[in-house]
Each structure stands twice: as C-alpha cells, then as structure tokens.
Amino acid sequence: GGSPVAAEIASRSCQTMLYADKQALETDLKVSLLAIRERELNLYTSCFRNIGTMSGVFAGFAYEGCCLASYFFPPDSSTTMRSTYLFVTTIAMDLNVAALFAATVCAALGPGLALRGPDGSMERAVEGLALEYRITFVTFCLGVFSFYVSASLYVIIMMNWLMMVLLLVLMLFSLHFTVSACKRIYKKFRLPAHMAVGGNFNVDGSIGRAVGAQGAAK
C-alpha cells in the first residue's frame, strides 16, 4: 500500500475538488434563479410603465378640466354643481398623479435595487414591486372612475336637458361596457392566490409562492 502522507494528500485533494464542484453548482443555481426572477422583475416594470403612461394621460385631461372648464360654465349654472365638478375633477387628477408618481418611482428604483443591491436584493425588489403594483393599480382604477364622474357632472352643467340625457346614457353605457370588459378579462386570466407560483425556491427545495399566496396557504 501507499504511504500515509500520500493517502492524506489524495484525500485532501478529493475534498478540495468536491468543495469546488459544490461551489460551482451553487453558483450555477443562483444564476438560474436570478434569471427566473429577472423575468418577474421585467413583467412588473413593464406593467408600471404602462400604468404610468395612462395615468399621465388621464391626469392631463383632468388638469385641463380644472383649469379651462370653469371659463365655459353658463352664468346661471348652479354653484353647488360647479363646486362639485371641480372637487371631483381635482380628485381624479390627484389619483392619477399619485398612480403616475408611484409607477415611475417603482419602475426606476425596483430594477436599480435588483441590479446594484447586495445579495438577496433581486428577491426583495420583486416582492416589493408585486405589493406596490396592487396599490398602484387600485389607485389608477379609482382615478379613471372619478374621471367618469367628472365628465358626467360636466355634461349636467353644460348641456340642455335633451343632450344631457343622451350623453349621460351614452356614458353610462360606456362605463358599463368598460366594467363588464374588465370583469370578463379578470375572470379569464385570474390566478388564485393559492395557485400563484413565484420564481424563488425554498431551502427544502420546494417551489416558492408569489406575494400574497403565503397567507392564503396558511
């Protein structure tokens, strides 16, 4: 047989190679997991940019309504109705500006944290964007609804009875069609919380759950 020294050297060399292989495997796994999470990051970033664009459009319309519509009010129009119109239009503008600001900040800071942050920043960025997206989306929807209410009040103030009724019916039909379309699309693409799968993996090797699914599973 060989000498004890040679056997010890061979044993240490084997342990070193195993450790190097393990480190290489862990590195490859981390790269693969980051690639999966990057897809989620890009998804939320794209959604924030889309919401920010549309919020900016609606905020601009509401601002024009606040600044210019008052010059066209009939002199005999109700002061209460005019005040209500300006109040609702301002709310519509504020909600859309809030959605725009939140979407812009999240789209800028989220990817920055994921790219330049310490280890684990990708996970933190994706989970944070997922939570903020829900709040921003609800804010945007409330802003759009306020915009509908503002347009209805403008019609009531500016138009005669016949045109007012026709335009209100048209706007109610448009609102009903929009809500129905949103419900149909939501039911078609709805993903229950307990079925949502995230791009992260747990220590025991099980697949991680998306944000909000952990609480539903408990």
Nearest partner of 56 among 8, 109, 4, 104, judged by Cα: 104
Nearest partner of 63 among 104, 105, 103, 100, judged by Cα: 100
Nearest partner of 92 among 152, 137, 142, 153, judged by Cα: 142
Looking at residue 203, its pLDDT comes to: 45
Whether the predicted model's global pTM rises above the 0.75 cut: no
DSSP state, residue 206: P
Q: pLDDT 10s per residue in the chain (218 long)?
A: 456 655 666 566 666 766 676 766 666 666 677 778 888 899 999 999 999 999 999 999 999 888 877 678 888 888 898 899 999 999 999 999 999 999 999 999 999 998 888 888 888 898 899 999 999 999 999 999 999 999 999 899 888 889 999 999 999 999 899 999 989 988 888 877 666 666 555 544 444 555 555 544 44
Say how far apart CA 90 and CA 76 lie, in whole Å.
Answer: 23
DSSP state, residue 212: T
Helix H or strand E segment including 207: strand 207-209
CB 96 within 8 A of CB 44: no
CB-based burial label for 154 (10 Å; 0-12, 13-18, 19+)? buried
Handedness of CA 42, 122, 27, 213 (dihedral sign): negative
Say how far apart CA 175 and CA 37 lie, in whole Å.
Answer: 37
